[in-house]
Amino acid sequence: MAYRLALRPETFLCVPQPSGRRNARSYRARMACDRVDAPKRPFTPPREVHVQVTHSMPPQKIEIFKSLENWAENNILVHLKSVEKCWQPQDFLPQPSSEGFYEEVKELRERSKEIPDDYFVCLIGDMITEEALPTYQTMLNTLDGVRDETGASLSSWAIWTRAWTAEENRHGDLLNKYLYLSGRVDMKQIEKTIQYLIGSGMDPRTENNPFLGFIYTSFQERATFISHGNTARLAKEHGDLKLAQICGTIASDEKRHETAYTKIVDKLFEIDPNGMVLAFADMMKKKISMPAHLMYDGRDDNLFEHFSAVTQRLGIYTAKDYADILEFLVTRWKVGELTDLSGKGNRAQDFLCTLAPRIRRLEERAQGKAKKAPTIPFSWIYDRQVQL
C-alpha cells in the first residue's frame, strides 16, 4: 500500500538475494535485504533479522580509536552536562510529597484530555523507544575499539557511553511518568511492549564496526531530535504547554548528542576519508533502521509499521525527514568535496550525493498514489481505533 511505501524510503534499494556463500563483504553489499527468521520464544516476538555480519573493521584500524582517546576527552566529553546542572524528570512532574500533588495531577489530566489518540500513539511509541535504552548501550558496547571493556573503564569512549546512557535514561523516565499520570493509556500493554522490545534487541547492522556505528548514532540522534521536536510542536498546538516543554527539553538533549556523534564522524572523515565514505554509503544502502523496529505488544505483528504510519501521517517523523537527515549529514561531512578517493570511494560519494533527491522523488510518487489508509485498534490506548 502506498502509505507503507512512504515509510520505507529506501525500499527501492532492495535487490533479490542469491543463495550460497555468506561472508565476503563485497557480496554482503548486494544482500541488503537478506533476512533470516529468529526463532519464536515466549519472551521474544515473531521477527526477522538480517544475516548477522560481525567485526567488519580491519583490526589495524582499532589503533585509530586508541590514538583518539585524548581527542575524545577534549572534544566529545565536553558535550556531556554535569549531573548537577542536568534537568531531571521530577522537574516537569507533579511533586508527590507536596500538598498540591492531587491538584497538579488533575490539571495534567485535564490538559491531556484535549490531545487526540493518534498523537498519544506517537508519544507512546517514542516513549517505548526511549525505554529500550539497555539495547542502545549494548549496541554501543558491541563496537570494536570503543566498547566499555570492564563496565567501569576509564577510556574516554567508555566514559562517554555510560554518561550518554545516563542522560538518555531520563527521557524514557519522564515520558513514562507523564503518560502514566495522564490516565489515557493502557500502561500494562505499554509495559509489555517495552519488555518484548528489550528482549528482542535491535538489528542496526553496524557489524561491531565503529565507522558504521557512529554514522548510525549520528543519524539516529538527529532523527530523535526531529521527532521529539515535532511532538513538542503538536503538544503546543493541542494546548498542552507543559507537555510541549517536556518534549522540547528532550529534543535539546538529542541535539547535543547529535553534535557529539557528528563530531566523531567529522574526525574519522579527516583521518580516513575513503573508509568513511564507504561506511556511510554502506549504512545508507542497508537503510538506517529505527531503534524500535522490532517492537511488539503481544498482539500486532506489524506494530512498528503501524506506529510509523501514524508518525508519518502526523508529520512527527516522515520519509521526507529521512531524506533531509541524509542530506544534512552529506553536507555536514562535506561528502561532495572529498577528493583522492578510490574507485569504490568515488562511486560511494556519487551514491550518497544523489540519494536524498531520489528518496524524495519516490516519496512524492508514493504520496500521489496514496489511498486512504485503514483505521486499526492500538492496544496501548485500550484498542481505540486510530487511522494509519
Which residues make up the interface to Fe ion (CB under 5 A)? 130, 168, 171, 221, 224, 254, 257
Question: Does the annotation count 257 as an active-site position?
Answer: yes
- For residue 375, indicate whether it is catalytic: no
191 catalytic? Reply is no
168 is an active site residue: yes
Nearest residue to 306 via CA among 388, 224, 186, 197 = 388
Residue 334, phi then psi, degrees to nearest 5: 50, 45
Residue of 44, 50, 79, 87 with catalytic role? 87
Stated as kind and residue range, the H or E segment containing 50 is strand 47-50
- Concerning whether 293 is annotated as a catalytic residue, the answer is no
Q: Give me 126's grid cell.
A: 517514542
The conformation of residue 97, written as its DSSP 8-state character, comes to: T
CB of 167 to Fe ion, least distance (A): 8
Query: Would you say 131 or 144 has its CB closer to Fe ion?
Result: 131
User: Which residues are paired to 377 by β-bridges?
Assistant: 385
Which is nearest to 159 in space by CA: 149, 170, 168, 148? 148
Cβ closest to Fe ion, residue 4 vs residue 170: 170
Of 140 and 310, which CB lies nearer to Fe ion in the complex structure? 140
Shortest distance in whole angstroms from residue 273 CB to Fe ion: 27
Residue whose CB is less far from Fe ion, 83 or 154? 83
Is 224 one of the catalytic residues? yes
In the set 118, 131, 221, 300, the catalytic residue is: 221
Residue with cell 517505548: 128
Min CB(332)–Fe ion separation in Å = 17
- Based on DSSP, count helices (H) and strands (E) in the chain, helices before strands: 15, 4
Task: Catalytic residue, from 186, 253, 297, 300: name it.
Answer: 253
Q: Is 171 a catalytic residue?
A: yes
Question: Quick one: 168 or 297, whose CB is closer to Fe ion?
Answer: 168
254 is a catalytic site residue: yes
User: Which of 90, 173, 160, 101 lies closest to 130 in space, CA to CA?
Assistant: 173
Separation between Cα atoms, residue 206 and residue 214, nearest integer Å = 9
Per annotation, catalytic residue among 34, 144, 164, 257: 257
DSSP state of 35: E
What amino acid positions are annotated as catalytic residues?
Answer: 87, 130, 168, 171, 221, 224, 253-254, 257
